């Protein structure tokens, strides 16, 4: 029994650490994309640097992909483990009395976010890989802004992105805050960290929504 508990704690810590890494990437991704709202030139410059820098392309990018896969696989494992534990320990489980709706449905918000990542990879990462490594096209430093705006011409695709960002906010609302507890961050700064996590969970997805809508209505 002790081994199972330790294993469960280790999984939660591993998932929290991968989640915190993805949150850092999300902030960086937002910071770059937000420049496209007020300065296409700056967005092109940063995107060109990120798209041609070998450290980013061949070191950080594989780590990011691994972190995404690891985080969601670990999430599914923990969900199955929690469901099994509830079935064994509780004859009646009143989820609403023990946890918020968001925390009880992390798996579903996570699935929507995962589906969104699939769409996002299909829209941006796959074409980028084909452009550079399959077709071996010459690098055009000014192409990134036009490619970004083109993706948001469709109201359906824009709507899917907006909906996905709403679910991302729900996922972050519980996940980001709970990650601090999972890694043992429990001191006088805990309340402040939790408040920061809640603000982040709303502000960053809302910022992505603004980016999508600005490019949709200004194309």
On whether the CB atoms of residues 162 and 213 are closer than 8 A, the answer is yes
* pLDDT of 97 higher than 70: no
Q: Give the model confidence (pLDDT) of 48-61 as tens digits.
A: 999 999 999 999 99
CA distances from 182 to 23, 60, 190 (A): 15, 25, 12
Beta carbons of 95 and 104 less than 8 angstroms apart: yes
C-beta separation of 36 from 211 below 8 A: yes
The model's pLDDT over 132-187, given as tens digits with 9 standing for 90+, comes to 989 989 999 999 999 999 999 999 999 999 999 999 999 999 888 888 887 777 77
Half-sphere exposure of 107 (CA within 13 A, CB side): 12
Banded model confidence at residue 91, pLDDT cuts 50, 70, 90: very low
With contact defined as beta carbons under 8 Å apart, do 149 and 91 qualify?
Answer: no
Question: What per-residue confidence (pLDDT) applies to 77?
Answer: 87
Q: Do residues 146 and 40 make contact, with C-beta atoms less than 8 angstroms apart? A: no
Of the given ranges (64-78, 94-108, 139-153, 166-180), which has the lowest mean pLDDT? Answer: 94-108
164 Cβ contact list (under 8 Å, min separation 6): 112, 113, 115, 116, 119
pLDDT at 119 over 70: yes
Mean pLDDT value across the chain: 87
Q: Select the more confidently predicted residue: 167 or 103.
A: 167
Q: Which residues contact 48 (CB under 8 A, 6 or more apart)?
A: 139, 141, 144
Q: Which residue has the higher pLDDT, 90 or 176?
A: 176
Question: How sure is the predictor about 1, in pLDDT bands with cuts at 50, 70 and 90?
Answer: very low
pLDDT value at residue 5: 47
Q: Residue 107 in contact with residue 76, Cβ under 8 Å?
A: yes
Say what percent of the chain tops pLDDT 90.
62
Convert the pLDDT of each residue in 28-52 to its tens digit: 999 999 999 999 999 999 999 999 9
């Amino acid at each position: 029994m002790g081994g199972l508990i330790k294993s469960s704690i280790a999984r939660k810590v591993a998932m929290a650490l991968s989640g915190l890494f993805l949150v850092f990437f999300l902030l960086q991704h937002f910071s770059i994309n937000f420049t496209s709202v007020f300065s296409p030139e700056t967005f092109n410059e940063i995107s060109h640097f990120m798209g041609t820098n070998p450290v980013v392309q061949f070191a950080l990018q594989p780590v990011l992909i691994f972190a995404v896969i690891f985080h969601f696989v670990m999430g599914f494992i923990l969900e199955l483990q929690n469901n099994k534990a509830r079935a064994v320990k509780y004859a009646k489980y009143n989820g609403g009395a023990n946890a918020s709706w968001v925390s009880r449905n992390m798996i579903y918000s996570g699935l929507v976010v995962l589906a969104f990542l699939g769409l996002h990879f299909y829209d941006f990462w796959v074409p980028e890989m084909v452009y550079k490594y399959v077709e071996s096209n010459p690098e055009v430093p000014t192409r990134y802004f036009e490619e970004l705006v083109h993706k948001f011409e469709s109201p359906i695709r824009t709507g899917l992105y907006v909906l996905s960002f709403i679910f991302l906010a729900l996922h972050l609302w519980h996940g980001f805050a709970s990650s601090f507890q999972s890694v043992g961050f429990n001191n006088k700064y805990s309340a402040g960290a939790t408040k920061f996590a809640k603000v982040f969970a709303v502000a960053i997805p809302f910022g992505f929504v603004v980016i999508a809508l600005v490019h949709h209505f200004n194309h």
